[in-house]
């Protein structure tokens, strides 16, 4: 998991599935495997937002002075 507690993941898994952000890929033993649903418009929008956010921040996490705040 991506740096979150297992309990946090399981608290939100049903919501993520309901919104179509992730999908079940298979079962492996007693574990269910999930992946991002790349066909989901919501997942695509979140990914785009993440890239824009990373572009807007410089290496120390402060806003990049080159980014126009009116966008």
Interval 6-20: pLDDT, tens:
899 889 999 999 999
Top pLDDT among 16 and 54 is at 16
Cβ(22)–Cβ(16) below 8 Å: yes
Average pLDDT value for residue range 33-41? 94
Top pLDDT among 4 and 21 is at 21
What is the pLDDT confidence band of residue 64, given thresholds at 50, 70 and 90?
low
pLDDT value at position 70?
Answer: 45
> Which sequence spans correspond to the domains of the chain?
6-56
Cβ(55)–Cβ(67) below 8 Å: yes
Tokens linked to 12 = 């939100």
DSSP structure class, residue 46: H
DSSP structure class, residue 5: -
CA–CA dist 45, 34 (Å, integer): 19
Average pLDDT value for residue range 11-37? 93
Cβ(34)–Cβ(24) below 8 Å: yes
């Amino acid at each position: 998991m991506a740096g979150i507690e297992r309990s946090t993941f399981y608290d939100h898994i049903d919501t993520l599935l309901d919104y179509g952000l992730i999908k079940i890929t298979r079962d492996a033993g007693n574990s269910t495997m999930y992946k991002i649903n790349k066909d989901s418009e919501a997942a695509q929008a979140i990914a785009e937002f993440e890239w824009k956010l990373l572009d807007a921040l410089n290496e120390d996490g402060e806003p990049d002075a080159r980014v126009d705040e009116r966008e």
